Structure 1
Amino acid sequence: LLRRARANQGEMAREVHPDLEPAAYGLLVRLEELGRQRATELAAYIGVGKATMSRQLRALEQLGLVAREPDPADGRAWLVALTEEGRTRVGRVREARRARYVSQLAHWDRGAVAELARLLHELNQGMAK
């Protein structure tokens, strides 16, 4: 499951942009879900250091997928946000992924799909601790 998830992340990253690193896809999804974030918050979420996060954000900026803006709460800090292009591309890829899952699970019993969703949710909750 985890190996397949890593492979899927790479595929989704390439669908967003051919030059996007697979690890950076998670940053884009996080920004889509939560909105503007400080680089330090993103680094903590992904589990990387400042230098790695800075390099990834620079690459995402060069691809036109994110932009930095001053943090109104702290003039020394910056917030990272998806650009309109980034939002459009990530949304398109996530919707295509959802459609693939719907298609792949269409022949499953509804109760089995509900049980799978419940168990995956439980697994995610347990791994977050």
Structure 2
Amino acid sequence: MDDDFRELLRTVDHELMAMLRLGRTVSWEIARDVHPNLEPNSYGLLLWLRRRGSTRLTDLAELTGISKGTLSRQVQALEQLGLVDRQPDPSDRRAALLSLSPEGQRRFDAARAARLAPFQQTMASWAREDLAVFARLLSRLNATER
């Protein structure tokens, strides 16, 4: 590894840490926007459910890397807040399918729109190609960091 490569890695590390700090702050803010009693970590579960639709708990655990016990407690809290519904899985009556409730979807979509507004302002001046490269590289990084 040469010095230039090491310096680039340090810069990437610094920028990722700054992004993670911002992400934690934003997660707290968005969680409050969705529901005042929503735990910030649970916002990510809502994001997965919004993206995937009806999902089994075991599949959600695999996607998120959260243990089934922990995930079950988080989902139960989301159900109590009226943000998530649980329905029997028609292909396996022993299992259940989780999905955003209509209220959960409404609240999530409103909070997400508010969250995207600053990104839109910041990135409106970016060339589409730059934005596409940024999105592709973030996806690539996230795919390898699991």
Are 2:131 and 1:113 equivalent residues in the alignment? yes
**2:91 pairs with 73, 79, 85, which one?**
73
Aligned residue-pair number: 128
**1:89 pairs with 107, 112, 128, which one?**
107
**1:39 pairs with 27, 40, 57, which one?**
57
If the length of structure 2 is used for normalisation, what is the TM-score? 0.78
Amino acid of the structure 2 residue aligned with 1:34: R
Name the structure 2 match of 1:13: 31
Structure 1 stretch displaced more, 85-94 or 108-117 = 108-117
Name the structure 2 match of 1:57: 75
Between the aligned residues of both structures, percent identity stands at 48
The Cα of 1:107 is off from its aligned counterpart by 4.0
CA deviations on 1:76-121 (whole Å, 9 max, x unpaired) are 1111111100011111111122221011223445554344333323
Supply the distance in 2 between the matched residues of 1:87 and 1:103 (Cα, whole angstroms): 24
Structure having the higher Rg: 2
Structure 2 spans left out of the alignment, 5+ residues:
1-18
The Cα of 1:19 is off from its aligned counterpart by 0.5
Q: What's the C-alpha RMSD, in Å, of the aligned pairs?
A: 1.7
**Structure 1 counterpart SS, 2:66:** coil
Supply the distance in 2 between the matched residues of 1:125 and 1:53 (Cα, whole angstroms): 21
